[in-house]
Amino acid sequence: MELQAVLMAAGGGSRMTDLTYNTPKPMLPVGNKPLMWYPLNLLERVGFEEVIVITTKEVQKMMSTDPKMKRDIKMKMEVVCVPEDGDMGTADALRHIQRKIKTDILVVSCDLITDVALHEVVDLFRAHNATLAMLMSKAHEFTETVPGQKGKKKTAEQRDFVGVDQSGKRLLFMANEADLEDGLSVRKSVIRKHPRMHIKTGLVDAHLYCLKKAVVDFLTENKSISSIRGELVPYLVRKQFSKTTNSQKVKEDSEDQTQKKNDSSTNHELLISSRDESLLHLAQERSCWNDHRGDMSEAYHGGKLRCYVHIMDQGLCYRVNTLAAYIEANRQAPKLFEEPPVHPSASISERCQVGSDSIIGERCQIADKTSIKRSTIGISSTVKEKVKITNSIVMHSVTIEEGCNIQGSVICSNAIIGRGADLKYCLVGNGQRIEPEVERTNEVIVGTDQLMEI
């Protein structure tokens, strides 16, 4: 087994709490499938037969009863539950399963929906004997109106600055805008080896990583690192160009000294080695191939720690970690699987209109004179007579009484929409009941126990 697959599915969905209050993020329905179904399906399609799923007991219980998970996912899933009491980061989670890791690993987040050719990332990892290979994509501008947020000022996303070499594959520099109060500075040790570096913005980390087993072992000795994305990846990228014991003695630059202090909390050195280290070194010595231009140094400038990135220019790649992303994912996800948009078990009146861009789930009942366009109707939901649903997401076991008009809204599971109600750009929480004949626009309608304390 060359790579072990690890699925991170313990996150709470802190940026979409109105959706995740009653349904954990990994089990949110997207195109009538649990969100975590998509990365599991991605792994299964490329030939993985086993995966370690890091999650909570609540999600584990829901996985065991969800028909889509039981019926569609054939590979063996070893579920590891994280402690309920601690706030565990993604690097902490890897540390938690360290004894189960026998080889290099492929880590993927449960909220990733993509049609990436996974071999693009894995091939970089293999070809360059890399320490890290990761996936990034171009940032998306979501155009749909987000329920309950019309007119509100959008929170500005902090940009990442990503430096790559001329090939666009070697990852040389990474920093977040929040960490650049004094401006963007690049260490001289990087510029010496790669005098031409392209700085890219407008990229999103897909949270898909190939990592050496040595990195997991390193984490067990360095408990100060809690997050893969926020701490481990930037550390590995910096460490590529740190002075090593067998390198030429060069006076440390002042900025290198500053960074050295920042890395001082990680006391244990990351030792990258391979069973075939001597053969790899011999192959490099006798080969005329090089990974860079501009000097006569050996391949990779003699460095053993190497980071690479595959940047998706085209195709589908979404992190479903906000309400806007969740809405867009429901629009795009059906493109990833070939299934009829209307489930055979659904009961649909001949006198209703269902657009070809809509999905109707199992055991749904759709009555006469109903119009459904560009919407998703969840499993076991009931839509009665003369209802109009446009650009909306209706989750599971929802009842919509006759004469309702629902536009641009998200209706969570077990909700009941009273007769003649008119909802535009609203989010209706799990199990909520909307009174008959009401008109609501641009509201988040949740129970008082769902409201967050500020």
DSSP readout, 192-207? HH-S--EEE-SEEEEE
CA distance 453 to 405: 32
* Tally of CB atoms within 10 A around 288: 5
CA distance 182 to 178: 10
* Pairing label, strands 203-211, 104-109: antiparallel
Asked whether the beta carbons of 13 and 19 are under 8 A apart, the reply is yes
CB under 8 Å to 176, separation ≥6 — which residues? 158, 159, 160, 161
Q: Decide if pLDDT at 253 tops 50.
A: no
Q: Decide if pLDDT at 248 tops 60.
A: no
Per-residue CA distances from 437 to 349, 405, 409, 428 (Å)? 24, 10, 17, 16
Average pLDDT of the segment spanning 3-25: 89
CA distance 214 to 292: 26
Q: Decide if pLDDT at 267 tops 60.
A: no
Per-residue CA distances from 135 to 113, 132, 251, 317, 403 (Å)? 12, 10, 35, 10, 47
Contacts 24+ apart (CB under 8 A), 248-257: 250/189, 253/187, 253/188, 253/189, 255/185, 255/187, 255/188, 256/187, 256/188, 256/189
User: How high is the mean pLDDT of the chain?
Assistant: 85
Q: Identify the band that residue 295 occupies on the pLDDT scale cut at 50, 70 and 90.
A: low
Is the C-alpha dihedral spanning 303, 309, 310, 313 positive or negative?
negative
Q: pLDDT at position 257, please?
A: 47
Residue holding tokens 């997050």? 227
Is the C-alpha dihedral spanning 206, 212, 217, 218 positive or negative?
negative
Q: Identify the band that residue 270 occupies on the pLDDT scale cut at 50, 70 and 90.
A: low
Average pLDDT of the segment spanning 410-436: 95
Q: Which residue in 105, 324, 329, 65 sits closest to 209, CA to CA?
A: 105
**Torsion region of 44: left, alpha or beta (phi above 0 gives left; psi -120 to 50 gives alpha):** alpha
Q: Whole-structure pTM over 0.75, yes or no? A: yes
CA distance 392 to 145: 11
Q: Decide if pLDDT at 188 tops 70.
A: yes
For residue 177, what is the DSSP state? G
For the chain, the helix, strand and coil percentages under 3-state DSSP, each to the nearest 5: 25, 25, 50
Tens digit of pLDDT for each residue in 334-367?
888 888 899 999 999 989 999 988 999 999 999 9
Q: pLDDT at position 448, please?
A: 59
CA distance 222 to 107: 19
Q: Decide if pLDDT at 250 tops 50.
A: no
Average pLDDT of the segment spanning 416-443: 95
- Out of 26-35, 170-179, 180-189, 374-383, which region has the weakest mean confidence (pLDDT)? 180-189
